[in-house]
Amino acid sequence: MSNKISFTDIKNSKEIRTYIKQADASLKALGFTEHSFAHATKCAEVAGKLLENLDYSKHEVELSKIAAYMHDIGNVINRVDHAQSGAVMAFRILDKMGMEPKDTAAIITAIGNHDEKTAFPVNAIAAAVIIADKTDVRRSRVRSKDTIYTDIHDRVNYAVEKAELKLNKEDKTLTLHLTIDTEISAVMDYFEIFMDRMLLCRKSAGFFGLTFKLNMNGNALL
């Protein structure tokens, strides 16, 4: 019987919790938005649900959840190249837990290919992680309201009242529906910050043969 590590095993790992917590503490000090359990869990949910809806196997869904949950742990080392350092960390952790090399490979590939500058949907799990990560914009990621007028990332995230990713299999579209408070942030602010991310989502949706669309306050923008 092969050793299958589940998403629950990963969530229950004290070791991984410690790294996520400490990585988020560093990002807080550096002035970044929330990258803690809320972000990790949300990404796992979105990535898993996407692959499930696209009829991937239960095992692949599980692997995508694990990769998404662990994708930002490398920030505990440094923000720069955190995708690569996180992949190496995940390798050590998962290998120690006895995960099969084939599964470990899929996960570290996804983690190592998720960050903007070096991201690429090299496989389905990587594509799902990129989409889940890049679409996680929400008010609760902003740590303090004090910074929303000086920090464009905080302002844009704070302005997002609702973000929902919808898959339409018939039209072959994946649409991010955002409800934003334009009194807080102009639509242009959003584009200034998120254009690269949206292009990555487009590339990743393309991996599944889907067209990525962005809808803001009921208007189709992309």
- Smallest gap from Cβ 111 to Fe ion, in A, equals 9
Q: Annotate the chain with three-state secondary structure.
A: CCCCCCHHHHHCCHHHHHHHHHHHHHHHHHCCCCCCHHHHHHHHHHHHHHHHHCCCCHHHHHHHHHHHHHCCHHHHCCCCCHHHHHHHHHHHHHHHCCCCHHHHHHHHHHHHCCCHHHCCCCCHHHHHHHHHHHCCCCHHHCCCHHHCCCCHHHHHHHHEEEEEEEEECCCCEEEEEEEECCCCCCHHHHHHHHHHHHHHHHHHHHHCCCEEEEEECCEECC
Q: Under the criterion CB under 5 A, does residue 133 sit at the interface with Fe ion?
A: yes
Residue of 158, 163, 167, 172 whose CA lies nearest to 135 = 163
When CB distances to Fe ion are compared, the closest residue is 133
With binding defined as CB under 5 A, does residue 24 bind Fe ion? Answer: no
Pick between residue 60 and residue 133 the one whose CB is nearest to Fe ion. Answer: 133
* Site residue total, Fe ion (CB under 5 A): 3
Nearer to Fe ion, 72 or 154 (CB): 72
Between 51 and 87, CB nearer to Fe ion: 87
CB of 148 to Fe ion, least distance (A): 20
In the complex, the smallest distance separating the C-beta of residue 163 from Fe ion, rounded to whole angstroms, is 14
Q: Please give the structure tokens belonging to residue 98.
A: 């006895």
Query: Is 72 a binder of Fe ion (CB under 5 A)?
Result: yes
Contact 19, 89 (CB under 8 A): yes
Asked if 47 and 65 count as a contact pair (C-beta separation under 8 A), the reply is: yes
CB of 170 to Fe ion, least distance (A): 30
Compare residues 79 and 187 and give the one whose CB is closer to Fe ion.
79
Q: In this chain, which stretch among 69-77, 165-173, 176-184, 210-218 interacts with Fe ion, using CB under 5 A?
A: 69-77
Which residue, 22 or 211, has its beta carbon nearer to Fe ion? Answer: 22
- Taking CB under 5 A as the criterion, which residues in 106-125 touch Fe ion? 115
Candidates 44-52, 68-76, 99-107, 167-175 — which segment interacts with Fe ion by CB under 5 A? Answer: 68-76
Binding part of the chain for Fe ion, among 25-33, 52-60, 131-139, 155-163 by CB under 5 A, reads 131-139
> Which residues contact Fe ion (rule: CB under 5 A)?
72, 115, 133
